[in-house]
Amino acid sequence: MSASIQRQRVCVLGSTGSIGTNTLDVIARHPERYDVFALSAMSRVDELFAQVMRWQPRYALMPDAAAARQLRDKLRDEGSRTEVLDGAQALADIAAHPEVDSVMAAIVGAAGLAPCLAAARAGKRLMLANKEALVVGGALFMQAVQQGGAMLLPIDSEHSAIFQCLPEDRSAWAQRIDHILLTSSGGPFRTRDPATMREVTPEMACAHPNFVMGRKISVDSATMMNKALEVIEARWLFDLKPEQVRVLIHPQQIVHSMVVCRDNSVLAQLGTPDMRVPIAYGLSFPERIESGAEALDFHALGGLSFEPPDHARYPGLALSWAAMAAPEGSTAVLNAANEVAVAAFLERQIRFDQIHQLNEQTLAAVHPEAGDTHSLEGLLALDQRARAHAQQLARGLAP
Ligand SMILES: NC(=O)C1=CN([C@@H]2O[C@H](COP(=O)(O)OP(=O)(O)OC[C@H]3O[C@@H](n4cnc5c(N)ncnc54)[C@H](OP(=O)(O)O)[C@@H]3O)[C@@H](O)[C@H]2O)C=CC1
Ligand SMILES: CC(=O)[C@@H](O)[C@H](O)COP(=O)(O)O
Ligand SMILES: [Mn+2]
């Protein structure tokens, strides 16, 4: 390590989840570089307790007061000096804390938007896994990054791949890119008989072929709503027109995405499917550090295949471009509907094939109003309206 490298104080939001634990795995490999300043969880008190005992952060955050009280009591019994904060505002406050250098945004869903905006406005190194925050926040989010002088680093594997294919000088991006190709595994039902989709259970939908992830993103991968959200995420991260973002199914997930340049040269980033690679890059950019991921063994690769997405099998994918073409704020509506639909499916209140029905109908019915997208409060109110509509629809659907 060069003597000039400064230690980073890192706040890991959503530390008990799949991205959160992978982040701590990478951090553990580099004790000379990183200090864990704050950790957060929603309801898994025992998991957060174990992390706090291991990392001894300054703060542990739990939005729910009762869960925070449990954690506080457990830590007090152990003589821990970590301060436990509760309430959603604490997430934003600590993300913007003057002593924090870097924020890993690994909360799932629109709940991550407020702390992301706070970190962006405070000019942090913002490592974004929480794609829903950008899908909901859109222009407001990117404006906060620019005005706050934040360094926005994509963690989503496809977006990290695109970022790794592009020069560090962002002003050169527009001139270089013709379009980008986001790759997708196609999820666990790529070859399943479409007539049997109504029989899919949460366990089947969460069995992703290549990654162990949280339940919400796993279901999104199965419907390809994950890719629909990623198309919108890419549009904002790389300042592209919606038609410049395309999707290609690549079941092996070795090629993590590609940039097609103006001259038709294609740049790709490859590697074993392991989220510690994009996480390590986010933590160390512009340098590279050891991630813990296995090296790609080209001799052992069976072959790489690519196919166009079948829109009849994955009707949700097209909603991405539909929402981007609709009035501003429609992507927030789509995201809210999808969060409600996935939660209802995981609770066995609606069928797998009804997720799309609910998303499509909510997008058609809930219309953003002028000004909704101009502030966090406006976006959250729009999100609530869309959720209420989707919940009403869900109640009317028989599983
Ligand atoms: N997992 C992956 O490989 C990838 C994930 N992503 C994205 O990263 C984000 C996180 O995904 P993943 O790690 O899989 O999700 P998980 O469900 O595994 O983890 C989510 C984390 O957020 C916390 N959390 C959940 N709801 C709230 C809330 N309302 N307020 C505050 N905290 C909350 C959870 O706490 P608790 O544990 O207590 O429930 C947990 O720490 C998602 O946006 C996902 O799309 C992107 C690319 C890859
Ligand atoms: C690891 C990651 O970034 C996930 O978004 C994952 O790639 C899901 O892939 P699919 O949605 O293509 O199955
Ligand atoms: Mn992804």
Domain residue limits, the chain: 8-155, 162-271+306-396
How far does the centroid of ligand 3 lie from the alpha carbon of residue 221, in Å? 9
- Bridge partners of residue 61, in order along the sequence: 40, 85
Binding-site members for NADPH are 16-19, 130, 132, 214
Q: What one-letter code names the amino acid at 261?
A: C
The pLDDT tens digits of the residues spanning 152-177 come to 999 999 999 999 999 999 999 999 99
pLDDT at 2 over 80: no
**Average predicted confidence (pLDDT) for the chain:** 97
- Give the pLDDT score at 5: 74
- Ligand 2 atom closest to the Cα of residue 184 is 12
Residue 1 pLDDT exceeds 60: no
CATH of domain 162-271+306-396: 1.10.1740.10
pLDDT at 9 over 70: yes
Instruction: Please give the average per-residue pLDDT across 31-48, as a whole number.
Output: 98
Q: Which of 117, 124, 171, 113 is nearest to 151 (CA)?
A: 124
pLDDT reading at 228 higher than 90: yes
CA of 117 to the centre of ligand 3 (A): 21
- Cβ(247)–Cβ(181) below 8 Å: yes
Q: Which secondary-structure segment (H or E) carries 359?
A: helix 354-365
Report whether 182 contacts 230 (CB < 8 A): yes
Give this prediction's pTM. 0.98
Answer yes or no: are the C-beta atoms of 277 and 291 closer than 8 Å: yes
pLDDT digits (tens, 9 = 90+) for 79-123: 999 999 999 999 999 999 999 999 999 999 999 999 999 999 999
Q: What is the predicted pLDDT for the residue at 4?
A: 67
What's the CA gap between 10 and 127, in Å, rounded? Answer: 10
Q: Do domains 8-155 and 162-271+306-396 have the same CATH topology?
A: no
How many whole angstroms from 162 Cα to the centroid of ligand 2? 14
Is the CB of residue 132 below 6 angstroms from any atom belonging to ligand 2?
A: no
Q: What is the DSSP letter of 181?
A: E
Distance from the CA of 148 to the center of ligand 3, in angstroms?
A: 26
Q: What are the C-alpha distances in Å from 91 to residues 8, 55, 86, 394?
A: 19, 18, 8, 30
8-155 under CATH 3.40.1010.20, yes or no = no
In short, whether 221's Cβ falls inside 6 Å of ligand 2 is: yes
Do residues 313 and 247 touch, judged by C-beta distance below 8 A?
Answer: no
Q: CA 174, CA 117: separation in Å to the nearest integer?
A: 25
Give the three-class secondary structure for 335.
helix
Atom of ligand 1 nearest to the CA of 45: 38
